[in-house]
Amino acid sequence: MNKVIILAAGEGTRMKSNISKVLHKLCNRPILSYMIDASIESKVDEVIVIVGNNEDQVKEAFGDRVKYVKQEIGEGIPYGTGYAVKLAEDFIGDNDNILVLTGDVPLISKETLVGLMDKQNKENNLATVLTADFEDPSGYGRIVKDAKGQFKKIVEHKDCSPEELKVKEINSGIQVFNGEKLRYALNKLDINNSQGELYLTDVFGILQEEKGKIDTYKLSDNEEIMGINDKIQLAQVEKVMRRRINESYMRDGVILENPETITIEKGVKIGKDTIIEQNTKILGNTEIGEDCLIGMNTRINDAKIGNNVTIFSSFIDQAIVGDGSDVGPFARLRPKAELKENVHVGNFVEVKNAVLDDGAKAGHLAYIGDADLGKRVNVSCGVIFSNYDGKNKFRSTIGDDAFLGANVNIVSPINVADKGFLAAGSTITRDVAEGELAVERSEQKNIKGYYTRKFGE
């Protein structure tokens, strides 16, 4: 079996955060999710994550997608990558190939992992190390080879001799081992190094004494092993991830204007010929159809957008927008808002837990909450659905072709039948029958001479 152990217990002190490093967001998804996805997509049989003080948060984020092993942290407890891997010893079978990943290299691709494991399997190696050539290898462990170019050892940067510091080929921190030999070597590790830790890299020196081959597999794109140790590196890696994701959408026929300013979460579905303008975020389980225009400064999360939809500078969260509809600018669709086909929701309109049927219009400055609006309903400026009495929410229904005049207050629950007409400025507290005009205003009184009485001649 092919198995993956991901080292994710580090406290990430350089991140200067209360959030675990591996749970920081990268294009709206936890850093760790990218390593888990790459592992699963490379067809491994089991993913084991080594967790530390972040155990509860990691489990909450990933549930039963992976197996977990807790690494205790504190005085008298060994540190180091070798110790972390050894904690998963119960998952390491003699006939397994064990891929080891660090939890902070989210740019690693499934293609690289497949290539690394294929070389391990086909050549029946004891271990295979993923390496890269860096012009400036400072901080990385060096791959030391013999005169024939065969793997000899890995030396951590702090332990390198002057000659070893000149080596350009570095250890990525990603490697795959034969399970039986890995278990053997893990139990022979010691802390005889500058850090006093159990180094996983020391496994290779132990395996050199065994009969068999240790080999390397060199990266073709060094971006894949960009690590994250602080928030500057987080931003640098996110820039690369954003470019990768956006390029994949453009290859599939989506038009992105100023793509470096656009964030699209991995897994979002977008139809061809849809245009996404700058400074836009499209997140979660969102689906967008074909031939749409998503205007600048829009944020869409967990929403379903139909075909030929136009959205300008608006927030849409857990809502549905039907074919041919247009939204914004400066509109807000909150959870369970649903616009059917050819609906218009204009500037400063908020919709929550409400359905607007085909052809309904709310041009500006309105709140529609907990309501069902029929076909071709007109919602004028200033309409408010008063759906909450301080304790309970109530729902109203508006029939087809109804007209809600400016500054109407609907005190839910109210039923307005088809072609009902609510006069401007009315506060509606009773049902309205089909075709009726409802007017609810106090009698207007004009007081003569008021200005003079108040301010004088």
Whether residue 323 contacts residue 289, with contact meaning beta carbons closer than 8 Å, is answered with: yes
Structure tokens at 384: 């408010």
Q: From the candidates 24, 157, 344, 364, which is the catalytic residue?
A: 364
Strand, helix or coil for residue 68: strand
* Beta-carbon contacts of residue 143 (< 8 Å; ≥ 6 apart): 129, 131, 151, 154, 167, 169, 170, 171, 216
Structure tokens at 430: 């009773």
Residue 364 appears among annotated catalytic residues: yes
- The Cα–Cα gap between 181 and 176 comes to 11
Whether residue 346 contacts residue 331, with contact meaning beta carbons closer than 8 Å, is answered with: yes
119 HSE (CA, 13 A, CB side): 19
* Beta-carbon contacts of residue 326 (< 8 Å; ≥ 6 apart): 309, 310, 311, 312, 343, 344, 345
In the DSSP assignment, the letter for residue 402 is -
Q: Amino acid identity of 115? A: G
Residue 80: count other Cβ atoms within 10 Å of its Cβ: 19
- The Cα–Cα gap between 10 and 34 comes to 17
Strands 304-305 and 326-327: unpaired
In the DSSP assignment, the letter for residue 341 is T
Structure tokens at 292: 């749409």
Structure tokens at 32: 């760790």
Cis peptide before 329 (omega within 30 of 0): yes
- The Cα–Cα gap between 352 and 368 comes to 6
Q: Catalytic positions, please? A: 364
